[in-house]
Structure 1
């Protein structure tokens, strides 16, 4: 798909407002708490299984505009992380603060690591293959996390459009060995241990970053694309796993968002190789709006 975005367009608020009139940039909306029940009930599950799943965490009224915006970017050939120019994407993750502060501590921080997916329901489309988000140690002896990945589906995620799959922590020999890198670290030796995680739109999924997981392949039998986004977080009392750490309660400025989006395109190009024009836009945004941040590009 051809990129339809120039660096000059990317820096214009009016371009983004006209593209998705139902979305806001630096507006006055606030993050209404997500419906996650008692977060303390999720912690033992997270520590044993390595992940949690909560249905209906976000209402349809809050996810529908995001779903439409991501679809619009996809149709226009604009890299999907640009959905984070809009307040609504940040607010969706900010609404999870009760769960995140319980799992990671009150002073938790957001990592500068996020992504957005649009997986079409056909055999040519798939989520990211089997991987662990970090292979250095990120959990304590009781498997409580130092870092978490939070994944939000904005459409129903099914086995026919690439839902998530995990190898639960208590079924993974690596959690016994306490080593998550090296040869074979993404191999499942007993396929019956794999757990499919179909999820309705608005669900909350989160996993510690040692968990082996992946997105499935789409199918022409699927009814709709899988549209989703992920954001990473860490405990505030740990050394940064990436920089700059972000205050999860503060909405980044428009300029800061552009710098962060450029960073995502550059640091994840091993997953999504960049064309020369997309790389030029991402590099320009990164260099102009995130000065002084070290990134190998």
Structure 2
């Protein structure tokens, strides 16, 4: 197999600075041509997205190879809580160019967009459509619920193995995807879980660039029965219970996966992404330099659920398998707000995300319970950013490739814009709380906003909103 063309770096200047997210407006980003200009190799809102796939979707009907794989994977998930499905029988690469998707995620990052905006493109949803039938087989009937995210984890920029608190990483630490009050009730009588995630790498996921790691079900006392929710009961910490001895660490299972494969796992299995280690560089006796480059891990995940446990974030009837662009953007923006502690951004971006998720025409797009969660997290994000948290106050502004950004006048204008963004964000946060009050759900919002006004930024667990790594959060 020929060596693939090396992927660019997300820190490289954007190919077209005028398309940088810093210059984005709602009117601009809802235009499909904007996204086509950033990633010209991908499709947006094709009349029939399925027609741009180079091959038809694979069937998991009885008697097919994919059906046999699904049955075997189902047994493995029942036993361990997770299973890897190899790339060849899945045929994801037949319907989408996963290498192009990986490169496009980086182009988005170069233009200031989170990799999750890869969900704006048809090809990303083709991956979900290709997986839908086999994931239903593996999970006992779970269907796409639109809980989707994308990542770019670069081992070169991931601390290179150095344990430094200042080093950021987009690989999540050990967690369960859901912590229900009644964990056993989230499993069916046949043992299948009512929520599962399909995690698909667009580049080879290895132990060097943050493949997934799991604690298999047989070695996890809290997998089925649930965990002690007392934050002071350190002896009941789920991870400590799983790893009570040196020998127990040998139960940890790495799950390397080739590009186009899929790892399917339940909401209760403890999992995480390792810290990237980077490659090796060396010089021979004659001075010739060589290196072994480790590629970034680029991937997408899709949640699949039983509506009896968790309703879909958007209507399947109106949005599956290919949501219209404006609804995709509403979903992505909502996800950015929900995961604001994991994916930091500034007030300008927060305002844009709120507008995309709530703009005229977006009413009713997001399921009511999920929308309430989005608005709750929006209030928390606005409070944190308005009080000095987030990228604006930390001075993190990535160069958008515009030479004029260094001018003092422009810096003054940017400062004025930031002040306006802060006022706008807080006004919208108040509106969100008032709307929640009208719907009878405002109590969830009051504590965080009162804390903001009192100068206190702590949640109910006592974790600072300015240090999201310290907060226990349901993450993926």
TM-score normalised over the length of structure 1: 0.90
Q: What residue in structure 2 maps to residue 228 of structure 1?
A: 299
Structure 2 regions of 5+ residues with no counterpart? 1-10, 12-19, 51-55, 60-64, 160-168, 232-236, 280-292, 379-476
Q: What residue in structure 1 maps to residue 106 of structure 2?
A: 71
Match of 1:115 among 149, 160, 167: 149
Match of 2:207 among 151, 159, 178: 159
Q: What residue in structure 1 maps to residue 443 of structure 2?
A: none
Q: What residue in structure 2 maps to residue 129 of structure 1?
A: 173
Contact 2:82 2:265 survives alignment (8 Å): yes
Q: Secondary structure at the match of 2:49?
A: coil
Match of 1:81 among 116, 126, 131: 116
Q: What residue in structure 2 maps to residue 185 of structure 1?
A: 238
Cα distance between partner residues in 1 of 2:152 and 2:144: 23
Based on CA coordinates, which of the two structures has the bigger radius of gyration? Answer: 2
Q: What residue in structure 1 maps to residue 42 of structure 2?
A: 23
Q: Secondary structure at the match of 1:264?
A: helix
Cα distance between partner residues in 2 of 1:174 and 1:193: 15
Are 2:346 and 1:275 equivalent residues in the alignment? yes
Q: What residue in structure 1 maps to residue 268 of structure 2?
A: 210
Are 2:363 and 1:291 equivalent residues in the alignment? yes
Tell me the CA shift for residue 202 of structure 1: 0.7
Q: Secondary structure at the match of 2:71?
A: helix
Cα 1:283–1:195 shift into 2, 3 Å: same
Q: CA RMSD in A?
A: 2.3
Are 2:29 and 1:10 equivalent residues in the alignment? yes
Cα distance between partner residues in 2 of 1:168 and 1:241: 27
Q: Secondary structure at the match of 1:258?
A: helix
* Greater helix share, structure number: 2
Q: Secondary structure at the match of 1:16?
A: helix
Contact 1:121 1:223 survives alignment (8 Å): yes
Cα 1:194–1:5 shift into 2, 3 Å: farther
Cα distance between partner residues in 2 of 1:54 and 1:5: 41
Structure 1 regions of 5+ residues with no counterpart? none
Q: Which moved more, 1:161-170 or 1:1-10?
A: 1-10
Alignment size in residue pairs: 294
Contact 1:126 1:216 survives alignment (8 Å): no
Q: Secondary structure at the match of 2:316?
A: coil
TM-score normalised over the length of structure 2: 0.58
Tell me the CA shift for residue 74 of structure 1: 1.7
Cα distance between partner residues in 2 of 1:181 and 1:73: 41
Cα 1:98–1:250 shift into 2, 3 Å: closer
Cα 1:291–1:180 shift into 2, 3 Å: farther
Cα distance between partner residues in 2 of 1:233 and 1:96: 10
Q: Secondary structure at the match of 2:301?
A: strand
Cα distance between partner residues in 2 of 1:25 and 1:110: 20
Are 2:80 and 1:43 equivalent residues in the alignment? no
Cα 1:193–1:274 shift into 2, 3 Å: same
Contact 1:180 1:210 survives alignment (8 Å): no
- Greater RCO (Cα-Cα under 8 Å, separation 6 or more): 1
Q: Secondary structure at the match of 1:74?
A: helix
Q: Secondary structure at the match of 1:52?
A: strand
Are 2:214 and 1:194 equivalent residues in the alignment? no
Cα distance between partner residues in 2 of 1:239 and 1:196: 29
Q: Secondary structure at the match of 1:72?
A: helix
Tell me the CA shift for residue 3 of structure 1: 4.8
Cα distance between partner residues in 2 of 1:161 and 1:5: 32
Q: What residue in structure 1 maps to residue 223 of structure 2?
A: 175
Cα distance between partner residues in 1 of 2:58 and 2:239: 35
